[in-house]
Amino acid sequence: MKYKYIALMLMASALCGCRTRQGLDDASSAGNAFQGNEDRMEYSTVSREDCNLAFTVTASVSPRPDGYSEVGASFGGRVTRIPVRLGDKVHKGQTLFEMSSPDFMAAVKDYLESQNAYSLASANLNRKTSLREAGVVSEREWEEASREASDAETSLTLARQVLSVFGVDPGSVRMGQPMRVISPISGIVVQNNLVLGQLLSEDSESLVAVADLSKVWVTANVRESAARGLAKGQTASVTPSSGDPVTGTIFYVGDILDEKTRTIPVVIECANPDKVLKPGMFVSAGFETERKGVVAIPSTALFQGPESQFVYVRKDDKSLEKRPVKTETLEKGRSLVLEGLEEGETILVSGGIYLAW
């Protein structure tokens, strides 16, 4: 008999609890939250203010476009000398490798022949000019010499331009010299896959790369709303997975929105004297912007629902309306409201745990 009585009491308690829970669910689904213990709840009126928006996104490191160069052969030939190794420091104009190239030899030969032809034509023109002044040669002979000198000069200019493609100083060129492939920038050899005796063609892939990593670019994809306050020249913080934060400067804020991700590329330029930031590395990029006249609320007023965040808005009859909102995190425990609240509305900022009572 005693156990039967206890069982009946438990069943009654369970039924009572079900009715109470159902009442809360009905109230919530109707848009009005159960009001709970008013003495332990705190409310605040929404207003506009000036505040700082701080946020962090994942970014990637890459060399600056003018600080990275992949070097290949402009003409076919065989590698005869490789004076640099992987990791070597090189300066602009330094030889990376030498080649024996038939095309280069032909260009050198054409240049030297054009140079000799121009010298002879110029000397002949000077002689004919002196003789014309003395009345020894005719005007027709002088004009012919002048035309030959002009044609020779044009041929020499073209031959000199061909040598410039090979990166050769015409003043030091000589027959039989190897073709020298030089570095277009100063930096470090970060790739060198050349083999002595290797045969290269004009369409061969670049086998040597030089990078100047004293400064690097860090590219972050920032949400459209957060990128509004960013501008060129502002500072940003870049933190690698292991290491101290590095301060950089915003170099570029993208002008085109990525329609798929709804983000804007933001490029940060960072000094990198110790080579802490390496191309291909993923880092954290921290930004801070000043926003004026925005709606900001305590983060304690936010509740997380299954699909979005929401707040409780107090109506005139003291009931609470569950209102979905879109927010971004601010500093000092506050959140920026992008959508869902208007200035002058009253919201619950503390004591939300008592709503279930």
What's the Cα-to-Cα distance from 89 to each of 17, 73, 92, 219, 250, rounded to whole Å? 77, 21, 10, 26, 28
Banded model confidence at residue 245, pLDDT cuts 50, 70, 90? very high
55-66+212-291 maps to which CATH number?
2.40.30.170
**Residue 59 — very low, low, confident or very high, per pLDDT cuts 50/70/90?**
very high
pLDDT at position 36 is 55
What pLDDT, on the 0 to 100 scale, is given for residue 351? 81
Looking at every residue in the chain, the average pLDDT score rounds to: 85
Strands (DSSP E) contained in 171-214 are 179-182, 187-192, 199-200, 208-211
Task: Note the CATH number of domain 28-51+292-356.
Answer: 2.40.420.20
According to CATH, the topology of domain 67-211 is OB fold (Dihydrolipoamide Acetyltransferase, E2P) (2.40.50)
Distance CA 336, CA 52 (A): 9
> Do 55-66+212-291 and 67-211 come out as alike in CATH topology?
no
User: What pLDDT, in 10s, does the model give residues 289-320?
Assistant: 877 788 889 988 999 988 889 999 999 888 88
Q: What are φ and ψ of residue 110, in 5° steps?
A: -65, -40
What are the extents of the domains in the chain? 28-51+292-356, 55-66+212-291, 67-211
Phi and psi dihedrals of 187, rounded to 5?
A: 170, -150
For the stretch 194-244, pLDDT in tens is 999 999 887 788 889 999 999 999 999 998 878 888 999 999 999 998 888
